[in-house]
Structure 1
Amino acid sequence: MEGQGDAVWGHATVRHPGADTLWMKPAGLGLEEVEPGDMILVDLEGRVVRGTRPRHSEVFIHSEIFRARPEVGAVVHTHPAPSAVFASLGVPLRPITHEGTNFVPPDVPRFDETTDLIVTPERGRAVARTLGTRPALFLVSHGIVTAGATIEEATVNALLLDKAAGAQLRLPGGVPRHWTADEEALVKRSRIYHADNLASRWAYLRRSLARWERRSGA
C-alpha cells in the first residue's frame, strides 16, 4: 500500500458522473481488501443509497469537497505516519525532492481546527475551505487529504505528498538548509508531474499489484 494503509481506516471516493453521489470504500475493510462489489454509493448528505456495507464516519470530508469543487472527481483520505508527524512540526513543506515540487509553491495548507475525526458537515466544510483549490492538505496530527480530477490523480497525489513529507522529516527538526526555488519548482512540476506521467505512475501501481497477487496466489 506504499505507506497509505492503516488497517481498516482511511478511505477514497469517486464522484458518480452526472449525479450528486459518490462511490466510497466502505468501513470495516482495508484499502487492499476492497472488491468492486464492496463499494457503496453515498449522497452528499452522507446517506448510503446503494450497497449493504456501512459508510465511514468521515464521509463529510469527501462530500463537502465535492460540493465545493465541481472539477474534483476523486478524494483520498489516509493516515500515513510521516505526513501526520511532519504536519505537527508546524514548519513549511519545502521542495527538497522532486515530489515536493508537485505541491510547493505555495505551501501545503494545514487543517488544525481539530485533530479529531471529521464527522459533521460543518467540519467537512471547514476542511474544504482550508483545501481551497489546492490538490492536498495536511490534517495536523491526523493524516492527509488529496483531491484530483480522477482517482488516479488523487491517489498519486497522496503517494507524492507522503514521500515529500517523509523526506523532510528525516532532517533535524524537519528544517532543510536548501531547497528548490519557487520558479524552478514550478518548471519541474510541469515537466515531471503532468497528466501523462501521473498516468504512468498509476499504471506502475497496477502492475505492482498484479505482481503481488501472483506471488501471493490472491
Structure 2
Amino acid sequence: MNVLDAAIQDLVMANHILANENIVDAYGHVSVRHPENPQRFLLSCSRSPEFVAADDILEFGFDGEPVVPGGKKPYLERFIHAGVYAARPDVNAVIHSHAADVLPFTISTRPLQPVLNTASGIGEHVPVWDIRDRFGDTNILVESIEQADDLASTLAGNSVTLMRGHGFTAVGRTLIEVVKSAIYLPLNARVMMAALSLGGEIKPLSPGEIAIRHKTPIDSPAYTRAWEYWTNRVKLSRVGACSCCGGEHGQHDTDNARGK
C-alpha cells in the first residue's frame, strides 16, 4: 500500500471512529493534509461520516475547491479545512464537529478550560470565533475562504477554537492526535459543567501540566493504543451489520421471502 492509499484508509477510519464515538452525526467532517503534496488536503465528499468510503475521498487545494472539478459534491464547509491548512503549516489534520456538550461555552462568557489529563491536547487557551463579528448576520456556516481565513486567525496557534452557536474546529500534528482531542473535548466540557454546578472554583490543568503532556511523541503507544481501541470499537459495532443497508445479515432473505 502506498502512502496516499494508507492516508485515505486512515481518513476513512477516522470518519467512522468519530461517528461511532458520537462526535459527529449526519454532519461534521475530518481531513488530512495530502501526504505527498502539503499544498493540498484530503476530505470526503458531502456524506455522513459513518458511511464514508475510500472512493468518497476528494483532493482539495487551499482555495477550498476540488482539484478535479465536476465529481461528487463537496461539503459546504470544506473552506474551514482550507483556511486552517493555509494558515498553519504545522497542522496535518483538522476536525469540525457540532458536539452539543461544547455549545454552552460558545455562547457564554465562561471560557472552556482543560480539566482532564486526557483533554490536555485542547491546550491552555480555547478561543471562541463569532462569525457575526466580521460578517454580520449569516447562516453561521463557513461557506467562503474569507470566512475560513477569519476563523483561522482566531484559532491562531491554538489546538481548538469554538464556534459561536455552531460547534468547534480542532487541529493536530497527526490524524490520531486530532481524533483524540475531538473525542475528549466534549467529555472535558461535561466534566467542567458538572464541577461548576457544585459551586465554588474549579481547578483546571496548569500550563506546566499541559506542556508536559504535549511533549508526548506523536508515535507514542499512548496514541497508537487509543487508535487501536477506537478502531476495534468501530469493528465491533458493525458485527452482523449488512454493509449495503446497515441491517442484520439475513434481512434481505426475509424481505425477499415477503416480496419486498
TM bucket by the smaller chain?
A: 0.7 to 0.9
Matches within 5 A, 1:21-32: 21-27=40-46, 29-32=47-50
CA contact (8 A) 1:108 1:136 kept: yes
Paired residues, number: 214
Instruction: Report the alpha carbon displacement of residue 96 of structure 1 after superposing the two structures with TM.
Output: 2.9
Equivalent residue number for residue 78 of structure 2: 59
Instruction: Report the alpha carbon displacement of residue 77 of structure 1 after superposing the two structures with TM.
Output: 0.3
- Rounded Cα–Cα distance in structure 2 between residues aligned with 1:125 and 1:42: 16
Which region of structure 1 is more displaced relative to structure 2, 10-19 or 29-38? 10-19
- Rounded Cα–Cα distance in structure 2 between residues aligned with 1:128 and 1:96: 25
Matches within 5 A, 1:1-80: 1-7=20-26, 9-19=27-37, 20-27=39-46, 29-50=47-68, 52-80=71-99
- Rounded Cα–Cα distance in structure 2 between residues aligned with 1:211 and 1:42: 32
Listed as ranges, the gaps of 5+ residues in structure 1 are none
Where 1:47 maps in the other structure, the secondary structure is coil
Question: What is the one-letter code of the residue matched to 2:66?
Answer: V
- The superposition leaves residues 104-123 of structure 1 with CA deviations (integer Å, 9 ceiling, x where unpaired) of 42x21111233700111111
Equivalent residue number for residue 225 of structure 2: 200
Matched, 1:145 2:169: yes
Q: Tell me: CA distance 1:86–1:173, structure 2 relative to 1, closer, same or farther (3 Å).
A: farther
Larger radius of gyration: 2
- Rounded Cα–Cα distance in structure 1 between residues aligned with 2:123 and 2:172: 16
Equivalent residue number for residue 102 of structure 2: 83
Question: What is the one-letter code of the residue matched to 1:136?
Answer: V
Matched, 1:109 2:127: yes
- Rounded Cα–Cα distance in structure 2 between residues aligned with 1:3 and 1:176: 31
C-alpha RMSD of the superposition: 2.4
Listed as ranges, the gaps of 5+ residues in structure 2 are 1-19, 133-138, 244-260
Q: Tell me: CA distance 1:95–1:26, structure 2 relative to 1, closer, same or farther (3 Å).
A: same
Which region of structure 1 is more displaced relative to structure 2, 10-19 or 65-74? 10-19
Instruction: Report the alpha carbon displacement of residue 87 of structure 1 after superposing the two structures with TM.
Output: 2.2
Where 1:89 maps in the other structure, the secondary structure is coil
TM-score by length of 1: 0.87
CA contact (8 A) 2:119 2:181 kept: no
CA contact (8 A) 1:168 1:174 kept: no
Q: Tell me: CA distance 1:174–1:187, structure 2 relative to 1, closer, same or farther (3 Å).
A: farther
Q: Equivalent of 1:212, from 227, 237, 253?
A: 237
Instruction: Report the alpha carbon displacement of residue 188 of structure 1 after superposing the two structures with TM.
Output: 6.0
Matched, 1:92 2:122: no
Instruction: Report the alpha carbon displacement of residue 171 of structure 1 after superposing the two structures with TM.
Output: 4.3
Find runs of 4+ consecutive structure 1 residues off by over 4 angstroms: 171-176
- Rounded Cα–Cα distance in structure 2 between residues aligned with 1:22 and 1:190: 25
Where 2:161 maps in the other structure, the secondary structure is strand
Equivalent residue number for residue 136 of structure 1: 160
Where 1:214 maps in the other structure, the secondary structure is coil
Where 1:92 maps in the other structure, the secondary structure is coil
CA contact (8 A) 2:120 2:205 kept: no
CA contact (8 A) 1:86 1:166 kept: no
- Rounded Cα–Cα distance in structure 2 between residues aligned with 1:149 and 1:18: 16
